[in-house]
Chain A
Amino acid sequence: MRRIEAVNDFVIKFANVNGTGSASANHMFAKSIFRMGIPVSPRNIFPSNIQGLPTWYEVRVSQKGYLGRRGGVDILLCVNPQSMADDIQSVEPGGYFIYDSSKPLDQRLRRNDVEFIGIPFTQMCLREYDDARQRLLFKNMIYVGALAALLNIDFAVLKDLVGDQFRGKEKLITPNVHAMELGYQYATENFDCPLSIRVEHASEIGEHISYTKHILMDGNTAAGLGAIYGGATVAGWYPITPSTSVIEAFERYARRLRIDPGTGQNNFAIVQAEDELAAMGICIGAAWNGARSFTATSGPGLSLMSEFLGLAYFAEVPVVLVNVQRAGPSTGMPTRTQQPDILAAAYASHGDTKHVLLFPSTPKECFDMTAQSFDLADRLQTPIILMSDLDLGMNDHMSPPLEWDDEREFDRGKVLSAEDLDNMDERFGRYLDTDEDGIPYRTYPGTHPEKGAFFTRGSSRDVYATYTEDGEAYVHNMERLLQKFETAKEYVPAPKIKLAGKKTSVGALFFGTTASPCYEAIEMLADEGSAIDTIRIRAFPFNAEVEQFIADHDTVFVIEQNRDGQLRRLLINECELPPNKLISILHYDGLPITARSIAMSMRDSLTTNKVTPIRRKTAKKVKS
């Protein structure tokens, strides 16, 4: 058998039972590699369940800094017999299968192109610990210790991490380190360590790119922190996976950073509402009254918020929504990732509505764009929807450090003060397009005793906010809203274009978490001689650069994680372009898209000139 030889470049997957504390041990494993200066991207693949079902944790280790999913598994560590048969099948030829040998392995499952490493984790725990809970938790630490020996992880780094993890609960440090040592010792005594797949300190193998300044952070925490920096004071919300941790992070940071030094009281208000409708209502009420407000939700919540989003669009109330997408439709797969809400968000609510969308691709962008959303919402007086997803939101991603420019100031948009109103000669008209950019001036309630009051409504009104059913006034207002959407193109983040370096008629267009594996796939194809230019979309409405990029190429792959090619449809809807130029590459099985599958799809298309949507077909046909 030819073993895979790899240093700092492999995929390891853990097969666990959920509710057994494995995720934190697995995270410690990933972070130890990160602290050795090696880029990692861990992904928790978990069920919508509290305890007892299979759960996986996949860690990509890539010295080159590829952070998307690669595809394939080189090492599988299995402590869950429920999923063992499939897990064994998933290992790449030449890879390793590490399993709990407390019970003998079913010999029918054995493969002769994979190295099997049996470690009696359960027996070791039974011998070492009396308490059932300790047996459960320390089993995780034992296998982390064993992996340290097998993969050449610096044990001192792991010990430091245990210290960090249990800061404040110091008496837990020694037993956890001891459990790791048990595993480490067993592996050293029984196997040739390290394996052919292993890690080395980045500095020791002469790596030039340093990741020591980088951070490991999930997108939801970054978005919650972005809301702190963006000046959000009011959050209304309703718990829903995978968005819950956005608000939890906001609250955690607010309790640290938003306590008024004079009174010890809160410079923020968070209300867990009765449902997503109320969550959005709270945000709209607060924003109408001059506070920066936001909420976070996922697919079903977006559906429920749609009516209110229409109100905010039409009544021109700034509000920020972080939509952490998951697999739909309906309840779909609540703990699996997708990018399936593009159309539902872009056109949320009945009537002619359009919303500004932002597409973050990294935790740093989650932070930056959430903070920026509040400026955009105030400037444009309309909802801003941040389109994150479960993969970005709930998994740790390696990211450059967060930055903040202290010179930067909030842009509160066109708001008239009492003084402004006093200095005005003309009558205040809430919906007058004074600057001809489609954005009118607003006032906060309570500003002036005599001037500037108006009636906000979801019904049609004239420029002075008075109810009207006059067709001309209605059309005038709707056209102005369209004009405002044009203006938005100047303010939203521009796309990121990377040219292949030589002339090519092929382009690739993508957004969000699809970007990282796309860049990797493009490099794979470049090595094979196919040059492809790329554009990463960062916002809707699409600005001129997007249309120009498509015009400049004969073929543009549109790569996204949903069934219907929703971004492609949005492009066709909103831009003047021939649809047959845009070739969809789609992936939507609930796991993040992989670089290998993207490369394969593009390769197929470029060699056969297929123009139908390319979907990754994993489903087996069911015979009745």
Chain B
Amino acid sequence: MVKESYLMVDALAQRDNTFTRMDARVKVLLSVLALAAVVGLPGFKLPLFIFALTSALILAIRVPFKIVAGRMLPPVFLGIVVFLFMALFHQGSQVFSLEMLGLELKIYGEGLILGTTVLLRIISSVSILLCLSLTTPVHELGYALIWFHIPRVIVEILLLTYRYLFVLWDEGMRIRQAQAMRLGYPDWRNPAGWKKAVNSTSTLMAMVFIRAYDRAENTFSAMQIRGYNGDIAGQRYKKTA
């Protein structure tokens, strides 16, 4: 399920539209500036405005609702919890109170404002990153990051990680399925079953690591045949003098 969502985002980023054709450097720069503004500046208006912009973009490139909901809901849920926490427990002037089941709920003005700010910040920053990932394939992002002088080492490992994450994912899930078929994951509400499940999990982790290690050697050979000399090839963007 996690893998599908990743692959869907990747597939959407590979499509051809105005935003995917845009220079990745511009997109990265705009996203970073928008994020800085959302997090750094006070007030509601800017986060709301940016959220509206990004929503329009997401609508314009016709992203399936499931993806948007899947990506937005967990952080928004977290934001709502924080919002309630702040509205209920922050000291300040009381706006109104509610009698419920013999409990008195007091809502505080300052907390309400603060909670709303945090909630809006979370929503708009998640939507900014969603827009970036929906319009920029990972390799384009890699080129842009190199252009922005992010150390090549980090970018290279990032690209390799993204590439092999899915390969190892499939391999790991195959092992997990095989373990499950041999009753490796019994009902873990009882101690014996739980012990077995923990055992199976650590075996699976070790196996995935071992396979990754062995695959690294093959990957290196394959890269070497194609002329790898310790650095990923080249620059996409011409050096501006």
A and B interact physically: no
| Residues of B near any A CB (own CB < 8 A) | none
| Residues of A near any B CB (own CB < 8 A) | none
